[in-house]
Structure 1
Amino acid sequence: MSMECFVFFGVLTFLLTTNRADALDCLLGESCVLPCSFQPGAEVIVHWIQLADSPAHSYYHDQDQLGHQNPRFSGRTSLFKNQISGGNASLLLSGVKVEDEGKYKCYTSTVDYNKETFIHLNVYAPVRKVEFHQDGNTITCSSEGVYPKPEISWSTDPPSNQNRNEKMKVQQIGQLYNINSSLTSVPDVTYNCTVSTGRNKMAATLFKQTTLSGSSKEATMHCTSSKSPPTGLIWRFNHSQIIVSDGSVMEEWRQQVKSAPMSGNLTLKDLSTDNDGIYTCVLRNAEGTYVTNTFLRIEHSQVVAEEEVSCVFNESCILPCIFKADLIQWNQVSTGDTQVHSFYRKEDHFEYQDPRFKGRTALFRDQIFGGNVSLKLERVEIPDEGTYRCYASIEGGSSHEAHIKLKVDAPVLKVDIQQAENKTICSSEGMYPEPQLTWSIDPPPNETLHNKTTVHQTEQKLYNISSSLNVKVTDVTYNCTVSTRRNKMAATLFKQTSLSGSSKEATMHCTSSKSPPTGLIWRFNHSQIIVSDGSVMEEWRQQVKSAPMSGNLTLKDLSTDNDGIYTCELRNAEGTYVTNTFLRIEHSQVVAEEEVSCVFNESCILPCIFKADLIQWNQVSTGDTQVHSFYRKEDHFEYQDPRFKGRTALFRDQIFGGNVSLKLERVEIPDEGTYRCYASIEGGSSHEAHIKLKVDAPVLKVDIQQAENTITCSSEGMYPEPQLTWSIDPPPNETLHNKTTVHQTEQKLYNISSSLNVKVTDVTYNCTVSTRRNKRAATLFKQTSLSGSSKETTMRCPSSKSPPTGLIWRFNHSQIIVSDGSVMEEWRQQVKSVSTSGDLTLKDLSTDHDGIYTCVLRNAEGTYVTNTFLRIEHSQVCYRSSKEPGESGEPEELK
């Protein structure tokens, strides 16, 4: 008797089932063990199944049996093989996902025993951190990367009955949730915010502000928390400038900080009125986050000196100023006493504010009474740099003045490096002040580097920098560093390596520093993207075996078509690292005509792999037109056809390795045809290959519209000549009579238009435009009628299952109501909502709104047009005369 039959009868006789499912919590993205045990015996069978009937893992015949495994579990399940004989059938599930949540059955069987055990798996991503952010009198509590969907709650001490004007937002990013809640604060209150899921919760507490009068010799501020040991500590000055971060004192505060232990207290020394202001402690421990604000005022005679503040371009910035005042005046004195912000009679005044500062300035209104007259400047611009005067006076009393020097910085965010022919180019954009760029080469050259550097200033006064270096040697590593007074970043182009790979599998490596990568791109022959930040492009999925964010790229099932340059561009916090590897597949080469499909107006590679000193590209289908020539280590364009001028290039740094492919930019329709690649070695062999180039301009959009009794369908900019077909639902009893015209433009692209006479209106018209590359459709649904309520009416917009990419609602064919989510001004009183699927809900309607409502919805499949005739139903009032015939008088309502 076979094992299968024996097991079947064993189930009938000895099946032991545990219906109760034990709960098991697993952390999202981590590994998790689903426990299962059985009575040891011979011929063990183990089946793990996620109910209902989704096989996760099977084991019999002393080995894993994964032929029927659900693909979702592929590579993520395993048993403890060395423990199965002892009765352990537990399942190790790696990389836990949200969809793994649910009930699992563990079925175990031996020759004389069977058992079913149930586990209910719960997936969670706990609340790890809760943040507080304060902007004026608005406080915001937030947490990120939580699952399942979290909730947020507020409490105050003492309890407050005041309306908080709370605003909450929950956003789902992938499978995780971000949550934030904002409310308007009042003085002298402690705020507590708790973020919770069904599995854990964390809190953040913003304690009410305290005031401290300190000695210029020394002052100590305290940080409130629970008894748990702290895991993180930050002290800030005036909400922005960091003093201490996790025990590290910032350079500019080392003269003032006497001690800052992780217990939280901050002791400052050698203080002046420049140190007056708000000191914020943000302390974290296992229980939550605790934020304490202390307003420090130094007690001694006040000496006001110029203070320097450094701000980042396009971010917010605080210009500190601490005086008791009823009248506050901020001016930018370095630009001729430009008025920035005024406050008096307990109100802001903007009558004479310079337009450049409009909508970008604010005071801390809830802190003015306590002496904080600092200015908050939003979206900092380069012209904001300069000296500012803070003037503060008390009505009928003293006045004070302070000067603040504002320096604006736009740091280096990214440096790009690339090689084009015999030049290496390094560039970076959007910096201030003017950056510096330096080159280095490893190993160092024997002669001085000759580079050409250009610096350009944009309209926003930011600087872009670019430097090109003539490449005289290729077997070196190029490093380029861009620096400003605030920071610096580098880009490295490593010397090219060569790799002979097997057609079965080849792995290429990406060099970088030890910092974790923040971005990774692999390219083929400098242009075609293979992998971008972990996502493999569709056309490379058959070849890519693995591409982790660590950088290595493993390809499989390769041919000579895959010979060429593979470029890794890896970015991290330190800079950019570019590695080029020339891959040659080791097997016999067959030269035959190859077909390449290119898209109009994009770049295209015509592949050709030969060792060569002389390279000649010709378009043979147009009479041997000369396209590109290369010999004596230089390009030659003397006899190049003018049509190809400025559009062709070879991969100069790869010719020595055997890549003589042609890069054709901005592909045109006349480029279609057969090309010959001729390559020869001086005094040696020559090779020839033919490449057939096909040009396509795909269908991008199809329009359909109705004018009286004619329906017109059209599309533009296609190649080759498109086809247009009509269909009607339900089908008509007679042949459709349409008039179709096709027009070819100067660029050889085709525009097509077809009109159809409408004899019946109660049908749906569908128009499809197709080329050899793709097709798209437009549908005009039959008109429907709707009797709507004056209070509220909803009209629907049918489409396919694909998500919409564009949506327009019109009234009576011309007046736009909604366009891609934006409601027109004249319809805001009537539009109640527009759903994600396209449905339009109107309110407060009258007979003025009777008419045709047209929905034009576009998605990846095509265009869908729906007409709805809406008639508003409302009660009609009749009247009769209250006088006898012949008498005058007002009518009364007919009862």
Structure 2
Amino acid sequence: MKIFVLCLFLHFGKTISSDPMMTGINLFYWTLVLFCINDMSPGASADVSHHASADDIYEGDTFLLPCEFHTFDVDPTPSVLWSRYDLRPSTVHRHQKEGDAFEDQNQLYSGRTSMMTDALETGDLSLTLTQLKVSDSGTYTCSITSVRGEHRVTDVQLQVKEWFPSWVTALLVVISVVLIVVVPVVIHFYQYIISVYHVDVESGVQSVQLPCKTMRYLTRFNKVEWYQYTNIVHTYEVDSEPTGHHHIQTEMKVTPMRWGNFSLTLKNPTEDNSGSWTCSVYRDGEMLEKKVHLQVKVPKVKVAPGQESVLLLFRTTVPSAVVVWSRKNGDKSDKVHVFHNGSDQPEDQPEDQFWLYRSRTEMTQNDFSLTLKHPTDFDSETFMCTVYGEDGNILRKKEVRLNVEVCKVKFAEGEESVLLPFRTTENLPDDVVVEWRREDLNHPVHIYLDGSEQLDQQDPGYEGRTEMKADLLTSGDFSLTLKEPKVQDEGTYVCEVFNTNIRRRKTVKLQVKGGRGLHRRTRRDSADPTPLLNLV
């Protein structure tokens, strides 16, 4: 640049001078002009520096290092070299007429640099640098290499900032290590301080621990009692054998008691075990009390009306001798299915199998899951699977809550007929009785008995309007066809199929489309000659 200014000055001096003595000076002048032109030719060095802004360049970003030069005026075509002289090797990227050349590239930039394929034709020699790192910070030099040598075009200073300063990263690491070490210790001692514990567990687990920890009675205590509500479940007295409830399997470890841990292990927890538990520790007339709120979660199975079967899932690898599925019925339970001695065929079921489930159940061979055929709303209840070992001890329990939706049928007044559906197991014995009733009426809607329809006791309001299939016992289809349905027919219908050994039941709610009817019976006995009340 200085040479260029000097040339201009000499040219200006020449124009204002007419002395012939200046001939020698003029000759010297033209020599310098030619030198200036050559100095500004494409092969010369242009000392231009760019600073990349550091405010918005971070690790992981992509950045374009700018460089422009009229390489198309240089003959022969040169190559482009991007370098960082503080590195060894210093080559960041090399581009030739044939394309990119990576032979001598510094491996720190491997796979992270690129240039335009037509860079030498357009003169855009900019370098794209991807996946920036803090170590990429530095001065990048763009140079042209030709037969005349290497000429620097521009320098670009790049400053890459890290998203998180190193001191922040180090601090986070220290905090994480402290939390990993401190939090379990805090939780451990917190259990010794709190007075009420909350424990949630899924039905089907082998056991659950009800915590009771204290730092008060670490050495001497006389007795420990565990209650569920007001019932004593487990008692431990020093120098005595522990006692428990014969229906509930419990266990306490002696060694942890020396360290103030009086926790109770409850085996095979069920929904009946949910609720409030109390741990009382006695020492020389003093008493320490802690409470545990236990919640045993029972899985729910929802079934749409008319579904062919439902699977009550229980998969476990516990070896078993006997598996018993039962259904809760108040304080007692009804036996649903028994798997014993490798067989669960209908003829192998016990005599006390509940008659509602005879010939309707089977177990999966690979696990203890139960298939219940033709479920109805009367099956909506909690089922329990109990697995027994060869010694008769309970190995595992699981509960499943089944919810079968009530079947709903809608009709419009004036329709030719409406079907109240009910399908169950096929090939039922000839002595079964089939009875359709409506809950608010005393007389049945339809009766099938001794192989034929018995309509002499039928409610007069349904006379001549009900019909069932002829092969109902063989097909297991006990659906009722109600002809010419009326608004007064709206209500809840129950079908029962039974004899001395089996029983099937289903509810069907019959509704008028668009809302309830205006006219409705108000007495249970429709045979009463008194006119029905008209509700408007």
- Name the one with the larger helix percent: 2
Normalised by the length of structure 2, the TM-score is: 0.29
- Name the one with the larger strand percent: 1
Normalised by the length of structure 1, the TM-score is: 0.20
- CA radius of gyration, larger in: 2
Quick one: higher RCO (CA 8 Å, sep 6+), 1 or 2? 2
